[in-house]
Structure 1
Amino acid sequence: MWRWHFYAGLIVLPVLALMAVTGALYLYKLEIEAWFYPVRITAPPNAQPLLPSRLIAAAQVAGAPATQILVPAKRDESWRVTTGSTVTFVDPYSGRLQGRMHDGGIMQTIRDLHSLALTGPIGNRLVEVVAGWAILLCITGLYLRWPRRGSPALAIRGRAGGRLFWRDLHGTLGFLSAGVILFLAVTGMPWTDVWGGGLRAIIAANGAGRPAMKVNPWAPPAKQALPWTLRERNAPTGGPGDIGVDAVVRIAARHGLASGYQLFLPASPSAPYLITALAARADDARAITIDAGTGAVVQDMDWRQFGMGAKSVEWGVATHQGQQYGEVNRLLMLAGCLCLLALCLTAPILWWKRRFAAPPPAPPGTARMVAGLMLALGLFFPLTGLSMLAALGAEWLVGRMRRS
C-alpha cells in the first residue's frame, strides 16, 4: 500500500495541485464573473425588459450572427447575448451595452485548465488517468493511516519541521479529507471521453438514461448547455420558417420559464429553438425544444423523465460543482480542494525527508492482496490501468539497470 501510494503521488502530484486550485476557483464562478465583468445592473422598479430581438440587435457583432441569449434569474443582472466567441452584456431595461467578454472570459480559462482542455483529447485522457490515480491515493492513504495500536489516525506529533510532524500533518489531513477527495474524483469521471463515454453507453443500453431527443443535432455550445445525460443522439430536425425569438420567449414563459434560462437560436434553417434552465440543483434540470416554424413545443424534458442512471450522474455532477445542497455543499467541496492542495504541498516534503527513497517491497501475502486491488482498479478504469502497467514496467527497468 505504501509503495503504490508513493507511486500514485509521484505520478499525478502536479496535475492534482492544478485541479485543486482551479476547482476551488470554479466553485465561485458567479462571484468571480461579477467581479471581472458588468454582470450587475440597476433595475428600475416595476420596469419590464425590452423585447429580446431588440437586445440581440443592439449586441450584434458585425459579421457574426447571434447564437444564444442568457436570461438571468435575477432582475439586477445583465442579459448576455452570444455572437461568435463574444458575449455582450446588455441592460435589458435600457438596451445599453455594458461590456463584452471574449472566448468565455476568465472562467473559461480556469475551466480549460481544470479539464486540461487546452491540450485537446490528450488532456481529457490525462484527466481520466489522474482521477483514477487520485482514487488510488485515497484508498491506499486510508489504509496506511487507519488507526492501529500506537498509531492514531488523527494526531500531530513531533517537533515542527521534523519528519514525524510532516508525516502526521499529511496523514491527518488525508484521513479527514479522503472521503471528499474520493467523491470529487469519482464524480469527475463522467466528463471524460473513454470512461465517461462508456458510462453513457451503459446507461442508455439499460434504459436508465434520459428520454430520446426528438430534435437534433445541436451546435456544440447548445449541447454543452444540456444536462450531462442529454448530450447524445441525433433525430430529425424541424420544419421551415421562423416565428422569431420574441414569440419563443413568450412560449417559454407560458411553460413556466420566464427567467433563469439560456435560449439557443436555430443553428440552421430547419433547426428548432432550445431553452435550457439555469439549474443549480440536479432535479431542476429542464430542456424545452420549440419548432421554429410553428412554435409547437416538440419536447419538454425534466428530471422526472430521467432514469436512475441519469439521475445518479446528474446528482453527482451538481454536487461536484457545489450546487446541489447550497452553501454547505460548496464549502465542503472547497475544503476538499484546499486539503488536496495541502496534501500536494506536504507530499514532496515527506519525499525529501526520505531522500527520494521508494518504500521496500511488501511481504508476499500483502503483495497478493494489493495486486488484487490494483488489478480491480485497473480493469474498472482502463486508462489508469495502462498507466499502472507503465509504472510497473519503469520500476522493473530501473531494477534491471541497478543490478547490471
Structure 2
Amino acid sequence: MLWRWHFFAGLFCLPFVIVLCVTGSLYLFKPQIETWLDRDIDRAVAEGPPRSVSAQRDAALSAVPGGHFLALEMPARKRQATRVLVAHGADVTRVYIDPVTLRVMARRDEQTRFERLVFRLHGQLLIGNPGSAIMEMVASWTLVLIVTGLMLWWPRRPGVGGTVLPRLGAKGRVFWRDLHAVGGMWISLALILFLVSGLPWSFVWGSSFSAVERRIGRLVSVQDWEIGAVPIAATLSGHATMPGMDMEAGAQPALPRPAISRPAISRSVISRAAISRAEMSGAAMRPEGLDAVYETARHLAFPAPVLVTPPVGEGEAWHIRSDTQNRPERIEASVTAQGQVIHITRFAEKSLTDRLIGYGVAFHEGHLFGVLNLFLNLCVALLLTLASMAALMLWLRRRRPGHLDAPGASPRRIGWGALAVMGVMGGLLPELGISLLLLALAGRFLGPRFSALRQKG
C-alpha cells in the first residue's frame, strides 16, 4: 500500500519537482544574476558628479509617456545607473538613468525581466493563479511522497550501506535504488522546510492563511510576500488588499496606520486606490521632496537594495525600505518631504507570524545564514533532482513496454493511524484533503466498473 501511494504521488510530482529544482536553483542567485545581466548598462555610466535625484526621476518619467512615479531604487555601488520604476496602466517599466548625463540607458518591462520570469515559473508555471494552485497541489503531494518514502526507507536490517550511505559500487537496480532512497532520506527534513515555507506564497493556502490571520487580528502589517499571481503595479502601492478584493478609486483601505510595513516589490496585492489618485493628480506624479528624502536614505544606509517610494496621498509620508532577500535584516522608515524621519519599523517589531514567515522565506530563498544557506539549498536541489531521475530509471527498468506496472492495490484496509495522519494532513493542506476525498470517492464508485472491464477484456 505504501509503495502504491509513493508510486502515484511520485508519478504526478516528478515533472514539477524537476522544474522547481531548476528554477529554484536559479533564483538562489538572483542578486548575482541581476548584476551580471545589467553589467553593460552600469559600465556605460559617465564619470562625474551626479545630477539631482528629482532630475533623474523626471528624465525617467519623460521616457514613459503617461507614466507615474512608483519608486526609485538607490544605487548599491558608486558607479551604477539609477533604476526608476514607472507605472503606466497595470504595467511597470524599469527605466535605467545615467545619474551624470540624465541619459535614458534602457527600459525594461518589470514583469518580463529574467528574475520575474523565473519567479513566476517557479511558483505559477507562468499561468497565474491556476498555476499557483497546481504547484500547491504538487507541494501537498510531495509531502505525501516524503512521508511514504521515509516509511519505505526505514531500516529493516543493521548496516550502513543502502541505509545511510548509497552503495555506489553496486550495479543495476541496487545502484539506482540506493541513489533514490538514501538521497531522498538525507534531504527529507530540508525539503519539508522548503515546502512548508513556500505555502504562504500559494494562492489557495496563502489566501486562506492571511484571511484567518487578519480576522483574528494578529497579522497587523501588510504581508511582505506575494500571494498567488499579483499585478506588478500593485507591489509599490502604499495600501494592500486581500486577494479577490476590488477597491473603488479613491476609497481608503482600512489598515492600521502606524508602523505599516509596505510590501517589497512583487510581494503584495494591488490597491487600485493609490494608483487612481496618482492618475487623477498631476502633483502626485512628481511629488516634492525626493531630493531631501534621498539624502536621508543615504544617511540611514539600509541593506541594499533600497527603494524610495512616494506618498500615496497629499500630506502623507514618503517611505524608505530595504528589500534585501535576508528578510530579518529588512527595515523601513517613514519620512517627511523635508527628510525628517517619522518612524522606523524593524523586523523584530513585527508580529510573531510575520517573523516566522520572514525567517522561512529567507531560508527558502537561501539568504538566512549567508553562503552556507545558499550551499545547502543548492545541494538539496541537486540531490532531489538525482533522486527524481533515479526513481524514473527504477520505473523504466521495471516497467514492461506499454504497461504502467504500478504496485498492486493492497487487499488490507487502511488502519486508523494512517487515516488519522491523512486526515490531519488533509485538514492542514486543503488541496490534498480535497484530492484524497475525490480519490476515495472514485475508488468507491468507479473502482468496481474498471475491475469489471479488466475482467471482461
Provide TM-score, normalisation by structure 1: 0.84
Q: Secondary structure at the match of 2:96?
A: strand
Cα–Cα, structure 1 residues 381 and 93, in superposed 2: closer, same or farther, change >3 Å?
Answer: same
State the distance in 2 between where 1:354 and 1:104 align: 43
State the distance in 2 between where 1:350 and 1:369 align: 30
CA contact (8 A) 1:27 1:330 kept: yes
State the distance in 2 between where 1:312 and 1:37 align: 33
Cα–Cα, structure 1 residues 53 and 70, in superposed 2: closer, same or farther, change >3 Å?
Answer: same
Equivalent runs, 1:164-243 vs 2, <5 Å: 164-205=174-215, 208-211=218-221, 220-222=234-236, 226=263, 231=268, 242-243=287-288
Residue 124 (str. 1) matches residue 169 (str. 2): no
Q: Deviations over 1:50-89 (max 9, x none)?
A: 3211222333323123322111333243321122332122
Cα–Cα, structure 1 residues 250 and 117, in superposed 2: closer, same or farther, change >3 Å?
Answer: farther
State the distance in 2 between where 1:35 and 1:88 align: 17
CA contact (8 A) 1:87 1:104 kept: no
Cα–Cα, structure 1 residues 78 and 135, in superposed 2: closer, same or farther, change >3 Å?
Answer: farther
State the distance in 2 between where 1:340 and 1:391 align: 27
Q: Which segment drifts farther, 193-202 or 12-21?
A: 193-202
Q: Deviations over 1:126-154 (max 9, x none)?
A: 12111111222122212211222156243
Amino acid at match of 2:156: R
372, 382, 388: which one aligns with 1:344: 388
State the distance in 2 between where 1:23 and 1:4 align: 26
Cα–Cα, structure 1 residues 74 and 232, in superposed 2: closer, same or farther, change >3 Å?
Answer: same
State the distance in 2 between where 1:379 and 1:312 align: 21
RMSD value, Cα:
3.5
Number of equivalenced pairs: 395
Equivalent runs, 1:4-403 vs 2, <5 Å: 4-38=5-39, 40-41=42-43, 49-60=50-61, 61-63=63-65, 64-84=67-87, 85-102=92-109, 103-116=111-124, 118-149=126-157, 152-156=163-167, 159-160=170-171, 162-205=172-215, 208-211=218-221, 220-222=234-236, 226=263, 231=268, 242-253=287-298, 255-257=300-302, 260-266=305-311, 272-290=317-335, 297=341, 299-355=343-399, 356-362=404-410, 364=412, 367-395=415-443, 397-398=446-447, 400-403=449-452
Amino acid at match of 2:363: T
State the distance in 2 between where 1:256 and 1:313 align: 25
CA contact (8 A) 2:331 2:346 kept: yes
Cα–Cα, structure 1 residues 348 and 395, in superposed 2: closer, same or farther, change >3 Å?
Answer: farther
State the distance in 1 between where 2:46 and 2:74 align: 17
2:253 aligns with none
Shift of 1:394: 4.7
Q: Secondary structure at the match of 2:367?
A: coil
State the distance in 2 between where 1:277 and 1:130 align: 32
Cα–Cα, structure 1 residues 267 and 298, in superposed 2: closer, same or farther, change >3 Å?
Answer: same
State the distance in 2 between where 1:342 and 1:40 align: 38
Cα–Cα, structure 1 residues 66 and 232, in superposed 2: closer, same or farther, change >3 Å?
Answer: closer
Shift of 1:93: 4.2
Q: Secondary structure at the match of 2:10?
A: helix
State the distance in 1 between where 2:30 and 2:421 align: 38
Q: Secondary structure at the match of 2:156?
A: coil
Unaligned runs of 5+ in 2: 224-231, 241-261
Q: Deviations over 1:355-394 (max 9, x none)?
A: 2322234474764432322221111101121122334445
Q: Secondary structure at the match of 2:126?
A: helix
State the distance in 2 between where 1:327 and 1:24 align: 14
Q: Deviations over 1:108-137 (max 9, x none)?
A: 111111111622221121121111112221
Fraction of identical pairs, as percent: 28
Higher relative contact order (CA 8 A, sep 6+): 1
State the distance in 2 between where 1:368 and 1:258 align: 52
State the distance in 1 between where 2:146 and 2:212 align: 26
CA contact (8 A) 2:45 2:81 kept: no
CA contact (8 A) 1:147 1:153 kept: no
Q: Which segment drifts farther, 270-279 or 179-188?
A: 270-279
Q: Secondary structure at the match of 1:119?
A: coil
CA contact (8 A) 2:264 2:323 kept: no
Q: Which segment drifts farther, 339-348 or 129-138?
A: 339-348
Shift of 1:99: 2.8
